[in-house]
Amino acid sequence: MTLARGLRSNYCGELGSGDIGAAVALCGWIDRIRDHGEHLSFIDLRDHTGIVQIVTPRRNDLRSEFVVRVTGTVANRPEGTINKTIATGEIEIHDGEIEILSSAATLPFSIDDRLDVEEITRLRYRFLDIRRDKMQRNLRNRALVNSAIRRSLEAQGFTEVETPMLWTPTPEGAREFLVPSRLQPGNFYVLPQSPQIAKQLLMVGGFDRYYQIARCMRDEDLRADRQFEFTQLDLEASFVTQEDIFAFIGGAIAEIVEVTRNVQINEIPRMTWFDAMDKYGVDKPDLRFESPLIDVTEILSPLGVRAFSAPTIKALLAPVRESFTRSRLDALIDRAKALGAKGLAYFKVVEEEDRLAFESPLAKFLEEAPTLSLIERLGAEAGDTIFVVADEWKVATTVLGQIRLELGKELVSHDQLAFTWIVDFPLFDGLDESGKPISAHHPFTMPHADDFEFLESDPLRVRSQSYDLVLNGWELGSGSIRIHRPDIQSKIFQIIGVTDEEAQSRFGFLLDAFKFGAPPHGGFAFGIDRIAAIMSGEDNIREVIAFPKTQSGLDPMTDAPKPVDAATLKNVGLTLAPKK
């Protein structure tokens, strides 16, 4: 395959022994120059496809990272100089004539990405950083993700529709970026935190199956898996059930994994939200390793030991068999306390006179029978360590779940892919200060068909028709079957404390739309930055974003955000309050 045109006949990395004798013109950057005696130089010429060696008369006016055009003839490398580590290692370019297209000052860091560079410097010179192999690979991988999504969804009958960037608030829980209006001074658009409402309106509009590779903005603190702006595959479909959404998304995910990892994945397994919390202590369990939390309330509660007087007692067999040192154990105990538990008990399983016993400050409270039941329940052997948290269910599971993750870290690698659907989320996520339930997903989510009767009497017990997709302990995305009836939507607004007037002024257009024949519909969105990062083996989404922001929301290359002058502010009807 050669698409090369214009100033060149071929790409560097594509030449091989099949091209011997061909006259070629190549363009790229000088990767390295090795002078050979007084008269000869070997130059590694690099473009995005790879490197090729040019043999040329020695010149003193060339430097690394100069941009050049080289003409010459493809020739076999002499016996003994073949380099098996690069694709073009059997050939070189003879009689290379070099034309300088652009010179280069000394770079702030080497393009060789085996050399570590501080991230702030990489971001300050991002245009050079993306010249490096890793960023080239990552961004191209990301493009494969996008094209796989398009291929898969178009084959499944989805139509891509672009929705506005200048939009109106959506109640999805994130803080939104405001954009002042010049033509309507004092009024603001918001940048969409997702196309949620727009895509529901597309369903009312008869679009049937919509998708978009959508840019979303959320003014939230930045983290390894979160930037202000991110991209998600957003989809919505009419006359569908949760099963259909799983099939649509499953198809796109399978295509992504195939093109980026060259592996076929089986059907994505499912777990209820309750099981995820109960067994792993999080709603996004990392299933690359098993080690579930085990309920041992029945074994430990009857002992009457103070440390175990709590409604729920959960135990974890440490996923790694190591001899935990005193300081490591103390650190884990501190961590458990910082996470909100009263403590973290541990039991080292040891062999004592032909039977298993515990080594632990609490061992004296456990007779032989409970000791052996605990060991048996956990399936522990000599050398293992068991950790125990006794507390309210939520605290016991979440704290021990975090300890599980910390201990399991060394067992997992980016080569494994453990997907799971989490289903049957609660509709509400606790109560706000005024005692009103808070929507767990967003207020457009349909309650679970079996739980409608508890909406008013016991709202926290109501499950929803919403689902998350989890990969390797990261939440890739969420979705739900939506409410399409105005009466149910009004009821939900009323339960969460949005008055009729408020609902009308904020989402009147949506409630109106539902009055004019809204099909039942549902959808999903997953983060492309996140899946692209995992597919590229990265821990931080910045590594798959061309021009990301730092943790503090800055762009060290452009210096954004920057002040603007008073006239510009006045144009949009704003004046700055004096700095405190």
**Binding footprint of ligand ASP on the chain (CB under 6 A):** 172, 194, 196, 478-480, 523-525
Contact 567, 574 (CB under 8 A): no
Residue 385 or 464 with smaller CB distance to ligand ASP: 464
Distances in Å between the alpha carbon of 209 and those of 297, 444, 481?
Answer: 48, 18, 14
CB 194, min distance to ligand ASP, A: 3
Q: Dihedrals φ, ψ of 400, to 5°?
A: -65, -30
CB 390, min distance to ligand ASP, A: 35
- Sign, Cα dihedral of 92, 98, 103, 105: positive
Q: Tell me how many degrees the CA angle 531-533-536 measures, rounded to the nearest 5.
A: 105
Alpha carbon 152 to its chain's center: 20
CB 364, min distance to ligand ASP, A: 51
CB 525, min distance to ligand ASP, A: 4
CB 187, min distance to ligand ASP, A: 25
For residues 241 and 164, give the distance between their C-alpha atoms in angstroms, rounded to a whole number: 27
Residue whose Cβ sits closest to ligand ASP: 194
CB 36, min distance to ligand ASP, A: 58
Residue 46 or 521 with smaller CB distance to ligand ASP: 521
Contact 180, 573 (CB under 8 A): yes
CB 522, min distance to ligand ASP, A: 8
Tell whether omega for the bond before 561 is within 30 degrees of 0, i.e. cis. Answer: yes
Residue 316 or 534 with smaller CB distance to ligand ASP: 534
For residues 163 and 182, give the distance between their C-alpha atoms in angstroms, rounded to a whole number: 21
Residue 399 or 525 with smaller CB distance to ligand ASP: 525
Residue 27 or 545 with smaller CB distance to ligand ASP: 545
Q: 């892919």: which residue's tokens? A: 417
Distances in Å between the alpha carbon of 517 and those of 201, 332, 500?
Answer: 11, 56, 21
CB 441, min distance to ligand ASP, A: 6
Residue 173 or 292 with smaller CB distance to ligand ASP: 173
Residue 27 or 145 with smaller CB distance to ligand ASP: 145
For residues 280 and 400, give the distance between their C-alpha atoms in angstroms, rounded to a whole number: 8
Beta pairing class for 159-160 and 209-217: parallel
Per the DSSP assignment, residues forming a β-bridge with 353 are: none
Contact 550, 541 (CB under 8 A): no
Q: Strand order in 466-471's β-sheet?
A: 159-160, 209-217, 229-238, 521-527, 474-481, 466-471, 419-423, 270-272
CB 159, min distance to ligand ASP, A: 16
Residue 88 or 420 with smaller CB distance to ligand ASP: 420
Residue 256 or 483 with smaller CB distance to ligand ASP: 483
Q: Tell me, what DSSP letter sits at residue 269? A: P
Residue 478 or 489 with smaller CB distance to ligand ASP: 478
Residue 312 or 478 with smaller CB distance to ligand ASP: 478
Nearest to 442 by CA among 173, 168, 169: 173
CB 523, min distance to ligand ASP, A: 4
For residues 83 and 77, give the distance between their C-alpha atoms in angstroms, rounded to a whole number: 9
CB 482, min distance to ligand ASP, A: 8
- As a whole number of Å, the end-to-end CA separation of the chain is 62
Per the DSSP assignment, residues forming a β-bridge with 99 are: 69
